[in-house]
Structures are given as C-alpha cells and as structure tokens.
Structure 1
Amino acid sequence: MGRRQFFHTAVAGLAMVATPSTAGDIIFRAGTGHTSGDSPSPILLSRAKAALDTHKARVRNHDLLAIADFSKPSRDPRFYLVDLRNGHSTSFLVAHGKGSDPAHSGWVHNFSNTHGSEATSAGAYAVGETYIGQYGESRRLIGLEPQNDQAEARAIVIHPAWYVNQTLIQEQGKIGRSQGCFAFAQSDIAQILQRVAPGTLLYADKV
C-alpha cells in the first residue's frame, strides 16, 4: 500500500468512528445508497442547518436533514439525506414543478408559493403525516416560511411518480416534472418515506 493510499485509508477509518459534537462539525462523505452522488452544496447545507436551528421547535428529528439542491438539473441525483451524526449523505433523483421550468429544460428557473402556479417553493418544510393519495403512499409537507407557507393548501407533498426514472434520463436527458411536489422514483420512495419521517426538516433552494 502506497503512502497516499495509506493516508486516505487512515483518514477514512477515523471518519467512520468519529462522531461530530455538533452539526457544525460535520465533514461530508458521499453516500453509497440506492442512488448516490456527491455531497450537497456547502451553502445549502449552511442554510439548512440554520433553518433547523430556527425551526427546532417545529421538528422532532434533529439527526437528519433532507436537502433538495435545485441548482442542479433534474437528471442529477439532487435530493440529499444527510445524517448529522456522522456526515454521511445519500442522494436521489427528485422532480421539480412544471411552473418552475415552463420550457421543460430540466432546470429550475424560478420558485413560487402561488396557488395554481404548479411551481416548486423554496424554503424549510416540516415533514408531516403519511397518507394514501393518487400516487400511492405519500407524505404531507408543512411550509415553515413565508416563501412556502401555502404548501399544505397547494397540496405540495412527497410522492412517487412514474416520470422519475433513469430510462427517461437516457432517452431525453431529464426526468419529468411535478405540479410543485417533491416526486421520487418508484424504486426510491420506500427508502425516502422510511428515512424522511414525520418531524424531519426538508430544505429546498438553489444557489
């Protein structure tokens, strides 16, 4: 084993056993879940941690953050589950709203909190109760900020969708669009619902 490889292995080993004393001490390591990718933007991570601190009375789970990085195109895994105890992150595909991308370019161009906009709203959400809707098992979202406080009235939720899959990415370079909801692949929704439990903070934005 070369010196560089030995050093990398040693650091990785320490990272596996070291638990940050606070959320601010986190050092990210990319996840190896069902769909894995790089770590979330440090800027969005900072905003999400600040939101968790601001809304700590409204959320029960202080060990996990869900972050949707809409700076990235829909073909990229851009929904991160971040374990605040050890810095491990796992990423998944997630759709954005039609109103945020009218030309269906695959990129979020704008956010909206307006009824009928079919757009994604930015900001912090508290994950609510589970229900069975037209797409199957889904989870409600409660907007915690003025920019997304109409989420419940607009029925902005977490749900599975047929138009979120790798086949569409291969065929057209992007996934489909939702009506403002956080829509996930059928193959990922069970893990999303298991980990993004009621009482978790979900933060969405772009940089």
Structure 2
Amino acid sequence: MDDDPPIADLVATVARYEGWDAVTAYSGEDALARAAEFRPDIVVLDLMLPDLDGFGVLDRLRHSGTMVPVVFLTARDGVADRVAGLTRGGDDYLVKPFAVEELMARLRTVLRRSAGPGFQRSVLRVADLTMDEDTREVRSGDRPLSLTPTEFEVLRYLMRKSPTVLTKAQILDHVWEYGFGGRSNVVELVVSRLRRKMDEAGGEPLIHTVRGFGYVIRQQAAE
C-alpha cells in the first residue's frame, strides 16, 4: 500500500514473481478496504498515504482485531518515525530507496517469525538439486554450491519455472529487469558458470539448451 503507484506496482510484481498473490492500494481508506476484502498474510505499508497516513491505517487494523504482520516501506527515515512504526504494532521498517531483494527477505523473515515453528520453508527441488529460498542455500545432492547473487537468481527462475523452457529475453527481463535489452550473451555466460559449478559438484546435468529458443532445467528422461 503506497501512494506512489510505480513503487506499489513494482513491489506487487516482485511478490508475484515470488509466487505470492498481491493486491495494491494507493490511499489509506483503499488500503483498509482491500485488507478487509483480501485478508492478506502480510502488508507492506507506506507512511505517506493520502487521506490517512500509514500510522492511522495500522491503528485501525489493530483496533479491528487484525494482527496481520505489517512492514513499513517509506521515505521517512527519522528515528522517531522508526520507533513509532515498531512500537505501534509494526513488524519491520525499511527506508526508501530500497533493494527489492532486501524487502522480500524481510517479508519472508517476518512471515516465518509470525507463523511460529510450524512455518514451512520455501524449498525448490529439481532432481537432486535443492534451493532454500529463505537461507539462499543451494545443494547438488549433499554438496553445497557457492553462487553469486546473479547466478542464484537465474537458477531460481529456472527452477521455479521447471519444466518450462525460458527464452533468454525472459531470463533477462526477470533477473536484470531493465538496461540489458538484447545482451543475451550475459545469460549464456551465467548459465555456463552454473553448469560448471554443478558439474564440479558431481551432479547430473540438469540445465539444457533448447536450440533457437532458450534454456530449461529438468531431469533428463531415461533412455
């Protein structure tokens, strides 16, 4: 819930890439209405909303008995605002400008903390390759893989979409978002490094090239 539509839409888009359902609101009253209708598991809330600020939205959520976790995402970086956000019932406070990766990590942490010991970790699996999205640990069989942030994101996208074949353009748009248009060679380089690291770990070849189209990660069918 943000008064800046591009930021709200960006957060919602990233959340959907993460596999979550997401709705947006651009005012305090709209935020309350959407929360009542959508019943979210977590709320990202700006302080500077028209008609009712973020503190007012939080107060009304809590007054109604809703204990949904709330993470503030705002340009107001004063200590007093941070303290107020946390003491009035917020669960975390992130200041703009921000990295979407950090925001998503904080959201997962808050959800895990609020859900208690029964929370299920988000683990992706393809054959003997596993990826824990919360701890960012990747293993080929019982051997850990040391990946750069970009390698991790490319592999995560391939694993999430498996067994769908992804074009280089799709991978560029998802991982790099913008500014790399037409530079498909950067995808080839990252995929090559991933294959080498997986080979060094002794795992079976899982990333396959579909000529003229792109890449897919899947277990090769038995002959």
Q: Which TM-score band (shorter chain)? A: under 0.3
Normalised TM-score (structure 1): 0.26
Larger Rg: 2
TM-score norm. by structure 2 comes to 0.25
Structure scoring higher RCO (CA < 8 A, sep ≥ 6) equals: 1
Higher strand share: 1
